[in-house]
Amino acid sequence: MTSTLVDSFSRQIVYLRLSVTDRCDLRCNYCIPDGYKHFKSTDDWLTFTEIERLVSIFANLGVSRIRLTGGEPLTRKGIDQLAANLANIPGITDLSLSTNGTQLSRYASNLYAAGVKRLNISLDTLNPVRMQQLTGHDVAAAIFDGIKTAHHIGFSPIKINMVLIPGFNDDEVNAMAAFCIDHGMILRLIELMPVGESGQRAHMATHNQAINIHAIRDQLVQQFNLVSATIPGGGPAYYLQSPDGRFSVGFISAVSQHFCDTCNRVRLAVDGVLHLCLGREDQVNLREPMRKGASDDDLRNMIIQAIAQKPERHCFNEPQHKIVRIMAGTGG
């Protein structure tokens, strides 16, 4: 189905990232700042009924893919029921979820039954000590357990999201590749983005270090004879695969090589604010008009008008424009 949602650069919007909470049970040091106090009031959180209403309107406008994210989506009570309800909305053909995996062993079975078939799991390190340093919590065992359970249940594909942090985990790329091959999962290497105070700090701190995503890609290409591949998903990664198909790796190099020309998505935060670009502050609040009685037609028009305002590209490389929202707030 083609989307009615076309921005002023002729990009069709078919993909909605839905943040169901801005809270997280981890404190990855490039994501949520230490002692962060600006979480949104739960009164401002969209209820499940409100989320379902907005998703129905988006679906009616041609959005077919939804990714549940956050914060950590599995910390929102009833997430499996929400997933089931969203999967039943006419027009939604692809429901996926991003998680840090800490609670996955508990929820995987219900999520799968609800209709979530594709999973992205964040895993920046295989080393439990580093994991604790990065996240502030001793969660390695729970995450590995969650990954094992998800694999066993049959989610496919499972993508492992590894944010490359020069000097911290760039020596683990080969180990992570081996881990993904062993578990039949796809590795995705993500460039650190200067989003929020922590993202900016981490980005600055590692900016001048020699290793970069392109050098890592070249090394993997040589090692595995990688050729380009097409992998299911609505996102911006470009993929390479080994000739025997056992190893697939995606690269998300949003900073060094933007892919804004093909952007097909917007993000709805838990407070009902529609973010038109991860790397810009352009936004429209849908919660307020909805709570003041806007009709579906009103909301539909607001969404169409908002999409027309979608910026051409992010501003990660423009130091004068800083994205102050944290990634967990927008829904990464």
Side-chain-facing half-sphere of 320: CA atoms under 13 Å: 0
Phi, psi of 118 (to 5 degrees): -110, 135
Q: How far is the CB of 2 from ligand SAM (least distance, A)?
A: 29
Structure tokens at 261: 């020309």
Nearer to ligand SAM, 100 or 125 (CB): 100
Four-residue CA torsion sign, 8, 253, 325, 203: negative
- Which residues make up the interface to ligand SAM (CB under 6 A)? 24, 30-31, 69-70, 72, 98-100, 120, 122, 161, 163, 190, 192-193, 195, 199, 327-328, 332
Q: How far is the CB of 222 from ligand SAM (least distance, A)?
A: 26
Quote the Cα angle for 260-261-262, to 5°. Answer: 90
> Is 254 in a helix, a strand, or coil?
coil
Nearer to ligand SAM, 13 or 327 (CB): 327
From first CA to last CA, the distance across the chain in angstroms is 26
Q: How far is the CB of 21 from ligand SAM (least distance, A)?
A: 9
- Whether residue 231 contacts residue 240, with contact meaning beta carbons closer than 8 Å, is answered with no
- Whether residue 311 contacts residue 276, with contact meaning beta carbons closer than 8 Å, is answered with yes
Q: How far is the CB of 90 from ligand SAM (least distance, A)?
A: 27
Nearer to ligand SAM, 169 or 242 (CB): 169
Nearer to ligand SAM, 101 or 272 (CB): 101
Nearer to ligand SAM, 24 or 299 (CB): 24
Q: How far is the CB of 10 from ligand SAM (least distance, A)?
A: 28
